[in-house]
Chains A and B, each alone.
Chain A
Amino acid sequence: MRLLTKNDIEEIALGATIVGSGGGGDPLYHKLMVQRQIDQYGPIELISCDELCDDDLIIPLSMMGDPLVAIERLHTGQEFEALLNMVTKVYGKKPRAVLPSEIGGANSLTPFLCSGALSIPVVDADMIGRAFPELQMSSAEIMGISACPAFMGDCYGNAVAIGARDGLTLERYARSLTVEMGSVALVAIYPLTGAHVKQGAVLSGSVSRVQAIGKRMLDAIKDQQNPVDLLVASMGARSLGLGMIDDISCSIQDGFMRGTVSVACCEATMKIHCQNEYLVACNGDCAVASTPDIIVLLEEETGTPVTSERLSYGIRVYILVLDSQDIWKTDKGLSLVGPRVFGFNFDYNDLSGNKS
């Protein structure tokens, strides 16, 4: 167990944005909220997976919905209290801890938003290793754990418990409810026992992992080194180019921000296709990088990552690709998050250099 300070949160937020692949939302607002909570309630408990008992109840949390709404209508905290009370009612006992469903973007900090006020620790783990737009894209799904009973809470203090028969149905119901709740809602799916966690239902150590990335990036920026070089050297990132964003064609459909970003690089115009996250990078008609690999847009001047809702005409960005975690490159993994799942007509392994 370690206690997280405001500075730790700063590092986690940056590292999480990098692995968010453009999605997960800008963690700025969550970061400020968590830091305020630390001011009010003290540092936050982060526990490791081995500290759990087999029959502990662990609740993964994430916010779902429209990132543009998340930066306009702020959370009230009632989402968490309502949801966790419903969990307690359904299970007949209180949860031992919470954890981030996805470690990419703002959602990396979602479970921390309540930990102080509700005195509940956060487990150092997540279920995706990055950000993905749909709920069933998680390590727990690959392990065959049931997504339900799932829970949702809204900023008004309403809570819902859902028993859906499969993950895809749950996704559809949850999306509809999110729309009703004003396009942003707190969601808990794949409730876990301590035993599940120890058997590999989660990716252990995720919070610490992204914190290490964030810390190194912040140190590089402070020492005026180029963070792109750092990512290429220490994380094996590939650079696809540097250019100016000259067109953004995104709209919100069914609760997702979908569209295409055009980056005019010297050699060619790169197009990045997104559905909240940056999913596929194309040079002309030819795909050069794809989900599940992580596509990062780093703003040239500051070296900081640009998330999809902060895209702006005229800014200059590096396009980088980070290798995906192994779990997603398996057949089962690719069946959940490979390019065909998002409507592209090629396979991850078709791209040169991606043969698994």
Chain B
Amino acid sequence: MKKYIIGIDIGGTTTDSVIIGMNRTIHAACKVPTENPLSNGLSRAIKKIFQTSCLDASSIDSIVIGTTHATNAIVQRNHLSKVGVICLAALSPTLLPSAYNWPGDLYRACLAHVVSITGGYECNGKVTGTIKKNDIIDACKKCVDAGAESIALIGVFSPLYKEQEMIARQYIYDYFNTMLPVSISSDIGTVGIIERENAAILNAALGACIGREFSQFADVCAQLCDAPIYITQNNGTIISVETARQLPVLTIASGPTNSCMGGAALSKHKDAIIVDIGGTTTDVGAVKNGFARRSLNTSNIGGVSINFPMPDVLLIAVGGGSLVSYGQNIAIGPHSLGSKFLEQAVSFGGSYLTLTDCALKLGYARGLHASMLDIGLSSLDAQRVFDVVKAKIVPLITKMKGQYKNVPIILVGGGAALFPEKFFGDTEIVPKYASVANAYGAACAQISATIDSVICMDNRDHELALMSENAQAQAVAQGALAHTVRIVQKDIIPYSYVPGNKARVIITAAGDRF
């Protein structure tokens, strides 16, 4: 009976939704402006999609939501909580303080206080310092006095030895109850203390606001439909609302991942470059063998390095709502009208010139219902603007392509309609439903299972094969279709000087839900 899946993307400008059947065809799609709070736009989007599709809640199997709001919060330094950083590091000070090369405004938005207390391990598991409950509680109190609303706990070598971080977190929960949320670094990142610490701080900073929003999503959906709801994470697979609340950093890059997977699926290509043109930014990503390409182990978000798996995406602040100035030099963005576009853009009666206005002047974007008021710049200038857009975006596409010269370029996102055919290259494709590719990607999101365990490397190939089988079996147990399951992540961190040549291995398998 329940035959349909709703996929939703809550972007900076619009909240998009699709209803798809189990055969992955799109039954209906719609867009509404993103609102503040986000759950208002979500509610509107779900009501509208029911209306447009003539379906009701009883036929919905599940709702999957992807959102870029965690990224936006970091990039815009907005809706972030102040964090108290507690380092379990017996050796301090070191030559590099926490968050040393963070951009100043992000530092001020996130950091309330940093304190080091005794703790931490050597690489072979020897305890450098025993943690003491009083030290931890006192450190928390100092952080709270300095304005911290949550805690990030970082212990030296915690990815290999989790106990101290877990015990410290339990002490804090026992004392403060739920008043002081704690992010522990070993839940979030791997070896490499600076990047792992950055990720833990960001997670703690995102926790309150984004966490609250995820809860509101669950409430709104529950009022409209009793289907389970899921959130998409960085690798394009689904997580529960509860997991998303605890570990919002896992959702940071889910937007670009969804647009890559959605764009590839809509155009039925397994290898492609995806160019997602939104209201404020353009993201260029890549799909290899049907999966969003992962970047090197350190990525950068908002000017800060982190080390958990992220999709390989190049971003530029050029979008449909980007403010344009022309004259001697053309400037496009970085600021954009965002969701105020329909009120404030020139072709809609407002007074701000945007990229969309330039497109209308050149006769592109014919689908838009704009007034034909005088847009105020000449066709020649509008063409110059578009030349600049091409000059900014094509190099990103070239970088993503690498050696694959003839790979298709899939244009998706609300801004895809602003460009004439083949604007970005001969292999360019704009699939049907391109403007809701993100929501489609969310609807089609896979299920993953991760096994994180210590194995003996003497018998390496055998152990890895066994773990891979287990990961795949778990993915199937959670609902993935067996014939679609593949290994998507494999990380090996060797332990030194522990007898038995051991290593920590993290393997993720993912497969289709339907």
A314 partner residues in chain B, CB cutoff 8 A: 294
- Judging by beta carbons under 8 Å apart, are A299 and B123 in contact? no
In the complex formed, the residue of B with least CB distance to A34 is B95
Given contacts A68-B496, A72-B157, A73-B157, contact A299 B93 (CB under 8 A): no
Say how far A199's CB is from chain B's closest CB, in angstroms. 34
* Contact assessment for A36 and B457 in the assembled complex, using a CB-CB cutoff below 8 Å: no
Is B91 part of the binding interface, using a Cβ–Cβ cutoff of 8 Å?
yes
Q: Mark A241-267, 1 if CB is under 8 A from B, else 0.
A: 010000011111001010000000000
Chain A residues numbered 220-238 whose CB sits less than 8 Å from any CB in chain B: 224
A276 CB to closest chain B CB, in angstroms?
13
B100 touches A36 (CB 8 A): yes
Question: Do A29 and B296 touch across chains, with their CB atoms under 8 A apart?
Answer: no
> For residue A155, which residue of chain B has the nearest CB?
B91
Quick check: A66 and B496 within 8 Å, CB to CB? yes
A315 proximal to B (CB < 8 A): yes
Closest Cβ neighbor of A114 among chain B residues: B95
Report the stretch among B189-197, B257-265, B436-444 that lies at the interface. Answer: B189-197
Q: Are B95 and A182 in contact (CB under 8 A)?
A: no
Most B CB atoms within 10 A — which of A113, A252, A257, A300?
A252
Contacts of A73 in B (CB 8 A): 91, 120, 122-123, 156-157, 193
The answer to whether A76 and B399 have CB atoms under 8 Å apart is no
Interface flag for B406 (CB, 8 Å): no
The interface on chain B, measured as residues whose beta carbon lies within 8 A of the other chain's beta carbons, has a size of: 41
Give the Cβ gap from A109 to chain B, nearest Cβ, in Å. Answer: 11
Residues on A with beta carbons closer than 8 Å to the beta carbon of B402: 300-301, 316
In the complex formed, the residue of A with least CB distance to B120 is A73
Enumerate A107-143 residues with CB–CB distance to B below 8 Å.
113
Report the separation of the CA atoms of residues A346 and B221 in the bound assembly, to the nearest whole angstrom: 68
Residues in B whose Cβ lies below 8 Å from that of A251:
457, 494, 501, 503
Which chain A residues border B296 with CB–CB below 8 Å?
299, 302, 306, 310, 312, 315
Determine the interface band of chain A, counting residues with CB < 8 A from chain B.
35 or more
- Interface: B395 (CB within 8 A): yes
The docked-state distance in angstroms from the alpha carbon of A302 to that of B495 is 30
Q: How many A-B residue pairs have CB under 8 A?
A: 98
Distance from B268 Cβ to chain A, minimum over Cβ atoms (Å)? 24
For B493, list chain A residues within 8 Å (CB). Answer: 68
Find out whether the CB atom of B156 lies under 8 angstroms from the CB atom of A301.
no
A71 near B193 (CB under 8 angstroms)? yes
In the complex, are the beta carbons of A72 and B95 less than 8 A apart?
no
- A29-B191 contact in complex given A72-B123, A251-B503, C-beta closer than 8 Å: no
Cα–Cα, bound, A301→B402 (Å): 7
Closest CB in chain A relative to B200 CB, distance in Å: 14
- The listed residue (B95, B194, B294, B460) touching A75 by CB distance below 8 A is B95
CB distance B193 to A242 under 8 Å?
A: no
Asked whether A301 lies within 8 Å of B496 as measured between CB atoms, the reply is: no
Residues of A within 8 A of B490 (CB): 313
B492 at the interface (CB under 8 A from A): yes
Is A101 among interface residues, defined by CB-CB distance under 8 A?
no
Question: Contacts A73-B157, A74-B193, A250-B494; is A36 near B95 (CB within 8 Å)?
Answer: yes
Bound-complex Cα distance A113 to B94 (A): 12
The verdict on A68 contacting B123 (CB below 8 Å), with A74-B96, A300-B402 known, is: yes
Nearest residue in A to B124 (C-beta to C-beta)?
A183
Q: Is A37 in contact with chain B by the CB < 8 A criterion? A: yes
Which parts of A67-90 form the interface with B (CB within 8 Å)?
A: 68-69, 71-77
Q: Hey, which chain A residues are within 8 Å of B400, CB to CB? A: 301
Distance between Cα atoms of A36 and B400 in the complex (Å): 34
Closest B-chain residue to A37, C-beta based?
Answer: B95
- The 7 closest A-B CB pairs, nearest first, are A74-B94, A252-B496, A33-B95, A182-B122, A312-B297, A69-B123, A251-B494
A-B contact pairs, 16 of them (CB 8 A): A29-B194, A32-B96, A32-B100, A68-B123, A68-B191, A72-B156, A72-B192, A75-B94, A183-B124, A183-B497, A251-B503, A299-B296, A306-B296, A312-B296, A313-B490, A315-B296
Interface residues of A (CB under 8 A from B): 29, 32-33, 35-37, 66, 68-69, 71-77, 113, 155-156, 179, 182-183, 224, 242, 248-252, 255, 257, 299-302, 306, 310, 312-316
Known: A183-B124, A316-B402; 8 extra A-B contacts, CB below 8 A, are: A36-B97, A68-B123, A68-B191, A72-B157, A72-B192, A113-B95, A183-B497, A257-B494
